[in-house]
Amino acid sequence: MSESCHGLRLDPTVREDARRRLLSVRGHVEGILRMLENEQVYCVEVLKQIKAVDGALNKIGALILRSHLRSHVVTAHERGDEDRVVDELMEILKYR
């Protein structure tokens, strides 16, 4: 599923940066899971943490998006796959 049949690949440096950041997101999610075991926890504290994780995920998304634009979107016309590339992008940008 995550294998590209078209040979377009996420840039290795960005991939490693995203992986490191996502490890930190996982740690953050685990922190919220511990919060949720506490019977005293206050709604707003959890909402703040969820918002922070959301911000970290969006940052990762922005890094990958920029890399995708630079590596694959600006060259789509040369490759001839611009229809697919544009449709994919519009789908991903919906409701962001």
Q: Which residues bind its own copies (CB under 8 A)?
A: 1-4, 6, 8-10, 12, 15, 18-19, 22-23, 25-26, 29-30, 32-33, 35-48, 50-51, 53-54, 57-58, 60-62, 64-78, 82, 85-86, 88-90, 92-96
- Minimum CB distance to its own copies, residue 28 (Å): 9
- Minimum CB distance to its own copies, residue 1 (Å): 7
Query: DSSP readout, 45-87?
Result: HHHHHHHHHHHHHHHHHHHHHHHHIIIIITTHHHHT-HHHHHH
- Minimum CB distance to its own copies, residue 56 (Å): 10
| Alpha-carbon gap, residue 75 to 23, rounded angstroms | 31
| Alpha-carbon gap, residue 57 to 51, rounded angstroms | 10
